[in-house]
Chain A
């Protein structure tokens, strides 16, 4: 396979996506296929790990190795794949509930480890699969099945968190802007280190308050001359909640977990057999 040029269609699995008609997630997977084709990812060497949710179905629709794990654990599972096998291209995918609620505790750690994987955080400000409960990004006052009168909690700010956690590549996108998304995917997949794309993707069936319409009013691309090396500026635009700025917000080249492990192991040296170790216990 490896000497053939792969086309976009080669990345699509036989199984067609089963999301609701109009679901934002279609707008995420299409540019994702295009990006895989652009970087000529080898299906044999690519692993997509997902959590549980509508968004967690992502790998079923991709013609690569796929692992659909348990709710909230896509990121540490993917980290295990990558740390064990730095030769593989590893991608994690999941929803806002999966990655910011139940699995939110894993993010700072994968970010500081700088595991060389790409995490696609598909945010619809709702629990889609379980049919409409509040999520960590549901806005204050939003009604849902678990906030029938109004949500009384403030949402998290994923972009601000990811910048603070030290993710070495942070981008924000919108499923309604697939061209821009494709470029972001390419950049993220090529990035050495932990890259995250926080992508807003409307849930047409369960979220009546944060919709394509409300989003299109606030989505705005970052200026062309945006300085990606300035984390503090990135935090400022993260704090600007009136506008949903999109683009690669921050990127730095920092040694990755596997690079550091390899260097450490080089320093430590090798034993030739078990007897060298047994000798310490004699």
Chain B
């Protein structure tokens, strides 16, 4: 049987509990045995403005955001006004007649009056629990038993006392009952799997969990939207694993402290966003030059400058790869989904440690604030990556910290552990670490540092399986990167269903060093290459054009919101 999907969007004023409604609903629906993709947007202001929560539930994979919705739940008029046209023609508008004025844009779509405030007042004595009434209504729409919701209320509010718990439970039950009477025919015949070992996390949470799994033990940070939740999570949880998360006065101090801790032997990670990465660029060079491992998770937001702090964009790629003075080797990666945020964080830390260089892992606001249910990660057999340190008993005499080796990697002594004091410096230096500006030395040492990237590139090719997705031959192919994976994959499935044509898809996670061999192999049989990106200038396409002399068809979206599968389906189909 074909998979079933139900997409619900809830919109209302920021601060009205839209987001907590969405969160409780998400958890209940997952526990009830469905897969979800939940996306939220919220105004930059503390209160007021439009907050939106979109929940897609499926018994197949819920891989991406959907543009059109089965149910729009409009808690205020602006939500109705903004989203009415996203309701599918056979979709439903749920609205509170007390606050929403319908207009002819609704057309012949079905509408159901849903007096949230009145129901809330009736069962709790105030309008405050209207978001919980909405939880009840929507639980019913998803066909999730009401107990999953009421159980969560006990977990969330248990400590606040019986009165609060009972009011919220009352509100949920009233909403559920209302829906049973008024919209029972919306429910889909989902195949549920309620007893899976899964966790429900956002991209930011997956990154932070990945950092702990990677045995990161020092996290300096400075708050910046949309990366702040990673840092807050680690401030809360890292001490429980014996690590330190420490706030510094700015991103310059943050990365400087991170490099100091890395020099002192710690596994270091920090999370930032564009403006913070800009401030880190000088110290990033220092990490390359001193060969101190460090991982920077850059959660991209709309730019430039302060830009669109709460919106998404894939626009820091060029900066991540090239944005420093001089030529400093670093590895640039991008996570392509929520589950991947977890694994790529572990991998980023592993690469940083093994190759003794900075790694920038790109995620974005869309991943950061999307939640999905993922299998509870199993770390058995996962290689975390150890730094190469000197053999015990290595004599001081003749020790070369920056020894030129075949791989470029040389042993790094740790203060207090190895009796091999050395100088680590941002000045060009020779193999022992002493400053040396001779032409031959600069060439030798630049090559030594870049050789690590070549070694990494070679090893990535050897592990190419990890990188590939649609290896079969096709005439048209798509190369994407980062969070667009789900929407691209889904759009290509839609195309195949529709036309019978299979479009190839490559979605590298290591963007620099470029996996040349793999990309050439992918490009080989293709007649046409399409590169969709959520930016204005086509940053990855630029990189591919320069390297392979090709002219891809570029699809750019710089709206601050992610691609949807429908959008890509339409755009890619046009090129077939």
Residues of A within 8 A of B (CB): 1, 15, 43-47, 49, 59-60, 63-70, 73, 76-85, 87-88, 105-106, 108-109, 261, 264-265, 268-271, 274-278, 281-282
Contact = CB atoms under 8 A, between A and B. Distances in A.
Nearest to A275: B376
A105 B249 contact: yes
A81 B421 CA distance: 15
B59 interface: no
Given A84-B260, A274-B209, A64 B421 contact: yes
B423 A79 contact: no
Given A44-B416, A59-B423, A65-B421, A49 B212 contact: no
* Interface band, chain B: 35 or more
Contact of A68 (B205, B250, B426): B426
7 contacts: A44-B415, A44-B416, A70-B286, A76-B254, A80-B260, A84-B244, A278-B199
Contacts of B434: 15, 60
A64 to B, nearest CB: 5
Contacts of B282: 70
B242 to A, nearest CB: 7
B415 A69 contact: no
Contacts of A281: 199-201, 205, 209
B415 A84 contact: no
A70 B379 CA distance: 38
B415 A261 contact: no
A274 B220 contact: no
Contact of A67 (B249, B290, B420): B290
Given A43-B421, A73-B283, A274-B212, A80 B240 contact: no
Contact of A85 (B241, B285, B416, B421): B416
Contacts of B241: 270-271
Contact of B415 (A85, A105, A265, A275): A85
Contacts of A70: 256, 282-283, 285-286, 426
Contacts of B158: none
Contact of B260 (A43, A77, A265, A275): A77
A198 to B, nearest CB: 21
B235 to A, nearest CB: 11
B450 interface: no
Contacts of B266: 84-85
Given A70-B286, A282-B199, A76 B257 contact: yes
Given A66-B423, A73-B256, A84 B218 contact: yes
B199 A81 contact: no
Given A68-B423, A73-B283, A88-B415, 13 more contacts: A47-B263, A59-B423, A66-B425, A70-B256, A76-B249, A84-B261, A85-B265, A87-B416, A105-B250, A106-B249, A278-B199, A281-B205, A281-B209
B260 A264 contact: no
Given A80-B261, A83-B257, A282-B198, A274 B421 contact: no
Contacts of B249: 76, 105-106, 108-109
A80 B287 CA distance: 14
B471 interface: no
